[in-house]
Amino acid sequence: MTLPDWVPAWATLVRADNPGPMTLDGTNTWVLRAPGASGCVVVDPGPLLPSHLEQVAAHGPVVATLLTHGHPDHAEGARRFAEMTGSDVLALDPKHAVGGQALIADGEPLDVAGLRIRAFGTPGHTADSVSFVVGEEAVLTGDTILGRGTTVVAWPDGQLGDYLTSLERLRGLGSIPVLPGHGPVLPDAEAVAGYYLRHRAERLAQVQAAVAAGATSPAEVVATVYADVDRSVWPAAELSVRAQLDYLRVADRP
């Protein structure tokens, strides 16, 4: 898949054929290889779609597979992919790891495929969400930042307070490209993380206003706050609303 010329040459995108309201154009599987390196690293092999896994494996040899988080559209195919390629799967949640030890967020960088890859803890969408900063040149964000639209905070596993902190961390990376788990690539992590933070502040204000106006359940808040959003994503929106209500309850405690 052709990428803009400002995307580092070490990144190749292979998109899974699983489009939908929550996956946008499909899951972005990233193949990372420094020019001249013999092996590659794969980030998020994606769903258990044999044709997709075969297409990704054809870029091998694969020396390591990394997961941004354990949702099936990113990780369902990981165990089969490990069998196909002989690569370990590193994930923050040990239940998704295959072979080697679980990934350590904010630990020592991994030097693989001619690249220095730093696991960068970004919980919030899920508790096990992690991003990967590669050579300080770009960041792979999984579902923490998407290429289009905004992200669900998958409560109760995902927590809004954690998510806001993660966005602040990503904003601190400066103007490096974002290689997301869905949708197109974005040129500026600092700018898009700032937009996400503003969006979350606006949604919180809308949720507070809906409750003040008499909404008594998350579903009623969704019907008010997300009235202009396609109903197919209302169940996901309700998860974010529950996360927002929980966050507001904590903020109100003395």
Active site residues: 73
Contact in structure between 210 and 225 (CB atoms under 8 Å) = yes
Which tokens sit at 252?
Answer: 């109100």
User: How far apart, in Å, are the Cα atoms of 45 and each of 24, 73, 77, 85, 189?
Assistant: 16, 9, 6, 11, 23
- Contact partners, residue 228, CB within 8 Å, separation at least 6: none
Give the closest residue to 114 by CA, choosing from 9, 192, 199.
9
